[in-house]
Structure 1
Amino acid sequence: MAPVSVAVDPSTAEVVVQNYQAEGQALPDRDTILRARTSGDISEVLIEKGEIVNSGDVIARFVSSENEADIKQATEGLVRAQRELDNAQQLLERGVATTDRLVNARSDLAAAEARLTAVQRAADNLAITAPFGGRLETLDLDVGEYVAAGTEVGRLVDNTPLTVAIQVPQQMLTRIKADQVATVRFITGEVREGVVAFVGTSASAETRTFLAEIKVANEDGAIPAGISAEISIPTGEAKAHFLSPSIVSLNETGALGVKTVSDDNTVKFYPIEVVRAQIDGIWVTGLPNQVDVITVGQGFVNEGETVDPLPEEAAQ
């Protein structure tokens, strides 16, 4: 019986860059809820929702008339307490006052200082300020509105830079390191270069994966937080063959591989590993550097069988 004819195509391994690819989400570098630190009526709102603020910028202020009166009263009380202490000290030195009076005067002075400090701190709380620079995503304040201490009044987001969070499977953990360069393609089409800033050392109990974070510069703020992104991280180089996925098959044990023709015209099956996928083909390892790959007829021959190999062009 004549050997089965198969088409073969010679393939030579090439050095290719291996990449780990994952999907992630862009997160702001900092994101915080703004809360009122005191209670009272709002006297002015200086920043509108959507504006960019710097650290320390005043966003809104409470009515300060009551606090101003408290500061005046506390200041006057401190002056009186200091005067009383000075008098008690002089009288004690002249022998016409007791030590108890001096001790009480010192205690009253300390209480007056604490009172002034408290009302001055309360004055600081009358201003709602930005704890860091960013964009005011929400602001729920109106002039004349009464706001209770602890009320959520806005949200401040800093997305310069962005942090893209991904999950790394445990078998890839040794190949992803801090300071590696990553290519980040956002769902908007924007492509930026990032750097691996963090790789976790504790796996998620549910997925057995590890959190990794990539920092992406976003000084212009053009890329919004919350959108999806595809991340590609080079993890090394490998000698691989570029093949069409259509020639890949399974052997009797279920291993993924490619059938080739040896020098003696017999079929040999090589298990392969896909190290990189493209739209027009795949890069695989597991084959010799030089090999004749069966491109047509592989489904009709088995390993060890003698075949009649023909160049791919001749078989068409």
Structure 2
Amino acid sequence: MHVSSYQKLLAVLLVCISPAPYVFAAEPASEAARSNEAEGSNPAVAVVKQIKTPRIRVVDATIEAVQQATVSAQIRGRITEISVDVDDYVEKGTVILRIRDKEQRAAVDVAKARFDEADAEYLRKKEVYVKGLVAKSALDKAEASYRAAKATLAQANESLEHTQVRAPYSGIVVKRHVEVGETARIGQKLMTGLSLEKLRAIVELPQSLIHNVRKHKQTWVWVGKNLDRRIKAESLTVSPFADPVSHTFLVRINLPTGEHSVYPGMHTKVAFLTGEKLSIVIPAAAVVKRSEVTGVYVIKDKQISFRYIRLGGIVAGQQQEILSGLSVGETVLLDPDGAVMAIKSQEKSEKE
């Protein structure tokens, strides 16, 4: 009796389906099936199953620099030189601005002369004191003068150092607050900069999520030019108190050190682990995408059909989460091309 090619293909597929629910079929049920699989004529199938997967909550966030500061003037004086401008990259310790230092240099010279004098007097008094030629009070007075002169010299050197404003860390200048020729006042803003070496994402979380976020402390951040890559956060810090108006908690998520193609002020997405859930999954290889249509090929009642599905994320390695369109225990084909051929044979058989 003649058997159609469609019936042969269905027979092979049905042999491959494991009778146990929630488990992928791994072994053929007959010697004939094993032979067909070795020849590549046995399309693989899988049974839809349900597993525990992480419960993820995705929220909007903003990227900011961990190190960002405004450098202010420590002394009063006229600005004589500005070495960098907005968008310039500077190394830590680089002089970015100079203030007129004539007065400070004069003060250093005076302090140095007084220190040298006090030092010499102190050494002389020590020598004669050892010989018993002066009283202990005279030595103490010379020592006090020496210490005072030393402190005055250190203070003068510190004031001179303040005429050269240096970058507190390596980073980029984002704002310049003064111009050459202006007189800087003590405390006046000079330059604002930030470092791209350490970045973080900040987000306001509702109080309903905060306990689970603190419990699991696992977070992922989307990075890349098109936010097409997800990396695990290095650490996170949750504010100990909520905003009294919005009732949200500020959370700071630190990114690993490195180049991630994201910059301060950019919008991104952050995923928080909040617990576990039961998910319906199939192997990712079973998913078929045809233009804007996503689906799978399902075997039911000895018939192969295309089923529309709605996808979740990739979980447990190469398992695809299914939000709708499939039920636990159904069987899907892992070879879309073989499924198309089977459907064509099926339609041809029905016409005959």
TM-score normalised by the shorter chain: which range applies? 0.5 to 0.7
Structure with a larger share of its residues in helix: 2
Q: 1:229 Cα deviation (Å)?
A: 1.7
The question of whether the paired residues in 2 share the 8 Å contact of 1:26 and 1:163 is answered with: yes
Kindly provide the amino acid, as one letter, of the partner of residue 264 in structure 2. Answer: A
**Residue deviations 1:259-281 (CA, integer Å, cap 9, x gap):** xxxxxxxxxxxxxxxx969xxx9
Select the residue among 178, 202, 209 that pairs with 2:240: 202
State the partner residue of 2:44. Answer: none
The question of whether the paired residues in 2 share the 8 Å contact of 1:186 and 1:229 is answered with: no
Pick closer, same or farther for the CA change 1:128–1:221 going to 2, 3 Å.
farther
State the partner residue of 2:265. Answer: 226
The question of whether the paired residues in 2 share the 8 Å contact of 1:52 and 1:133 is answered with: yes
Question: Is 1:38 the counterpart of 2:72 in the alignment?
Answer: no
Partners of 2:144 and 2:124 in 1: CA distance: 14
SS in 2 for 1:159: coil
State the partner residue of 2:100. Answer: 63
% identical equivalent positions: 18
Partners of 1:167 and 1:196 in 2: CA distance: 19
Select the residue among 228, 231, 238 that pairs with 1:193: 231
Kindly provide the amino acid, as one letter, of the partner of residue 215 in structure 1. Answer: N
Residue-pair matches, total: 245
**Residue deviations 1:55-77 (CA, integer Å, cap 9, x gap):** 21111122222222221211111
**Residue deviations 1:97-129 (CA, integer Å, cap 9, x gap):** 444333322221111111111111112211111
- Aligned counterparts, 1:1-316, within 5 A: 14-15=50-51, 17-92=54-129, 97-176=134-213, 180-184=218-222, 189=227, 191-195=229-233, 197-200=235-238, 202-204=240-242, 205-217=244-256, 219-220=258-259, 222-235=261-274, 238-240=277-279, 283=323, 289=328
SS in 1 for 2:86: coil
Pick closer, same or farther for the CA change 1:238–1:183 going to 2, 3 Å.
same
The question of whether the paired residues in 2 share the 8 Å contact of 1:91 and 1:97 is answered with: yes
Q: 1:50 Cα deviation (Å)?
A: 1.1
The question of whether the paired residues in 2 share the 8 Å contact of 1:160 and 1:217 is answered with: no
Partners of 2:109 and 2:69 in 1: CA distance: 35
The question of whether the paired residues in 1 share the 8 Å contact of 2:48 and 2:280 is answered with: yes
Partners of 2:269 and 2:176 in 1: CA distance: 32
Pick closer, same or farther for the CA change 1:220–1:198 going to 2, 3 Å.
closer
The question of whether the paired residues in 1 share the 8 Å contact of 2:279 and 2:322 is answered with: no
Pick closer, same or farther for the CA change 1:152–1:115 going to 2, 3 Å.
same
CA RMSD in angstroms, aligned pairs only: 3.6
Partners of 2:237 and 2:136 in 1: CA distance: 65
Partners of 1:156 and 1:188 in 2: CA distance: 25
The question of whether the paired residues in 1 share the 8 Å contact of 2:237 and 2:253 is answered with: no
Partners of 2:78 and 2:260 in 1: CA distance: 34
Q: 1:95 Cα deviation (Å)?
A: 5.7
Partners of 1:123 and 1:181 in 2: CA distance: 47
Partners of 2:76 and 2:124 in 1: CA distance: 39
Partners of 1:17 and 1:94 in 2: CA distance: 84
Partners of 1:206 and 1:92 in 2: CA distance: 73
The question of whether the paired residues in 2 share the 8 Å contact of 1:38 and 1:148 is answered with: yes
Q: 1:45 Cα deviation (Å)?
A: 1.7
Q: 1:195 Cα deviation (Å)?
A: 0.8
Kindly provide the amino acid, as one letter, of the partner of residue 182 in structure 1. Answer: W
TM-score w.r.t. the length of structure 2 is 0.59
Q: Which moved more, 1:217-226 or 1:125-134?
A: 217-226
TM-score w.r.t. the length of structure 1 is 0.64
Q: 1:33 Cα deviation (Å)?
A: 1.0
Structure with a larger share of its residues in strand: 1
Pick closer, same or farther for the CA change 1:201–1:178 going to 2, 3 Å.
farther
The question of whether the paired residues in 2 share the 8 Å contact of 1:185 and 1:231 is answered with: no
